[in-house]
Amino acid sequence: MNDSNMSDNIETYLKQILQQAHEIEIRRVELAQRFNVVPSQINYVIKTRFNTENGYLVESKRGGGGYIRIVKMALRNEPRLIEEIKQQLPKIVSFRTATSVVSSLCREQILTVHESELILTLLSKETLSVGDVTVQGQLRARLLQQLLSRLRFESERN
């Protein structure tokens, strides 16, 4: 089985557990043994698939009693979590990162599927094509920042 499929399997396993509990605490070494992979593979999955832009908070403690805690953020009722996503956004945002953020907002029913598609159209490479990839990423970051600010404001009013 290739690494991509194994990463998908690890992600699926963790998400199944998260469906039953709002947060999970795992030991990296034990999870690596379960899937017969090196611990760095677990780190890769956590870093790329369970990050703030995907709607998760991750906390880790290293050492003998170390663990990784993954918390599924409830964006809908928590304006501070929208602010957390906003704070985590880099100054230059790729379309892939933008898609992750917008997908999380849609999954949490903060945005409708239609709204998400419209926003992603506005954040696309084609729309923001200004001849400079860095400027394109900066524009995308500013647009996402504004969207998150507005959503945060709306969630505080509700």
User: Is CATH 3.30.56.130 correct for 3-72?
Assistant: yes
Q: Where are the beta strands (DSSP E) in the chain?
A: 23-26, 56-61, 67-72
Nearest by Cα to 70 from 11, 155, 5, 4: 11
Three-class SS state of 73: coil
Distance separating alpha carbons of residues 128 and 140, to the nearest angstrom: 8
In the chain, the largest separation of any two C-alpha atoms, in whole Å, equals 51
Distance separating alpha carbons of residues 62 and 158, to the nearest angstrom: 39
The confidence score (pLDDT) of residue 157 equals 54
Count of Cβ atoms closer than 10 Å to residue 42 Cβ: 23
Distance separating alpha carbons of residues 123 and 117, to the nearest angstrom: 10
Choose between 64 and 114: higher pLDDT.
Answer: 114
What pLDDT, in 10s, does the model give residues 9-29? 999 999 999 888 878 999 888
The residues spanned by each domain of the chain are 3-72, 75-157
pLDDT at 38 over 60: yes
Structure tokens at 136: 């394109």
Burial of 92 from C-beta contacts in 10 A (0-12 / 13-18 / 19+): middle
Q: Which CATH class is domain 75-157?
A: mainly alpha
Task: State percent of the chain over pLDDT 90.
Answer: 43
What pLDDT, in 10s, does the model give residues 48-98? 888 877 778 888 877 666 788 898 876 655 677 788 888 888 999 999 999
What is the mean predicted confidence (pLDDT) over 122-150? 94
What is the mean predicted confidence (pLDDT) over 118-138? 95
**Sheet with strand 56-61: strands edge to edge:** 23-26, 67-72, 56-61
**Mean pLDDT taken over the chain:** 85
- pLDDT category at 156 given cuts 50, 70, 90 is low
